[in-house]
Structure 1
């Protein structure tokens, strides 16, 4: 009986993880520098730099807005200004903060989130 309970529990956890992953795959897409160059630069898109204001001021991708993820309440207010039904591209320095920001956007109902996982450090690298 204990074995059956463990098996049912395992299946329930697995189904939940698979369901979450499936949903994430539909909403959040990791992108690279080539995608940013071809689909973002020179286009009317929502491009969000989630680094601190100091990092943003030191250099950022053209036309990106700065929504500082480290200021959680401010970040949540700022994302309310975005269109949830239009693509949102997010980046940080190397990809950790943008992945977290992408998850927040997904949780808030954004339907197309693109995470530039290489971040600004990849952008400035030759």
Structure 2
């Protein structure tokens, strides 16, 4: 029985639509992310560089470059830490780092797009 639960957990991890990282950070697949950002006005942030952002981005996203750490912290401190925040980058790597940083800054609910902008189109 225990081995069945382990196998089910493994398949759930691999194929589940949402992957929970911790209580604050949730990784969402494209359909879940899209539904969430389209259902209401949200804090949507693209953490790629300005050049990447200007080459194409999700509608209504704000660009806050993860690599510019002083500006990154300054700009995120202007946002509401009590409201959910939705993040993405190119592939999901930077946004995961950004999510951990936002968690340490006191943001309560962080949602990250699995696969990033490459997965969006």
* Superimposed CA distance per residue, residues 74-114 of structure 1 (whole angstroms, 9 cap, x where no aligned partner): 10100011100000010000010000000000000000000
Detail structure 1 runs of 4+ shifted over 3 Å in the superposition. Answer: none
Ranges in structure 2 where 5+ consecutive residues have no aligned partner: 1-20
The structure that is helix-richer by fraction is 1
Ranges in structure 1 where 5+ consecutive residues have no aligned partner: 1-23
1:48 aligned residue (45, 48, 60) = 45
2:105 aligned residue (83, 101, 108) = 108
Residue in structure 1 matched with residue 57 of structure 2 by the alignment: 60
1:66-81 correspondence to structure 2 within 5 Å: 66-81=63-78
- Per the normalisation by structure 2, the TM-score is 0.80
- Per the normalisation by structure 1, the TM-score is 0.77
> Could you say what the CA RMSD is over the residues aligned between the two structures, in angstroms?
1.0
Higher Cα Rg: structure 1 or 2?
1
**Displacement after TM superposition at 1:117 (Å):** 2.2
Secondary structure of the structure 2 residue equivalent to 1:40 = helix
- How far apart are the structure 1 equivalents of 2:85 and 2:118? 20
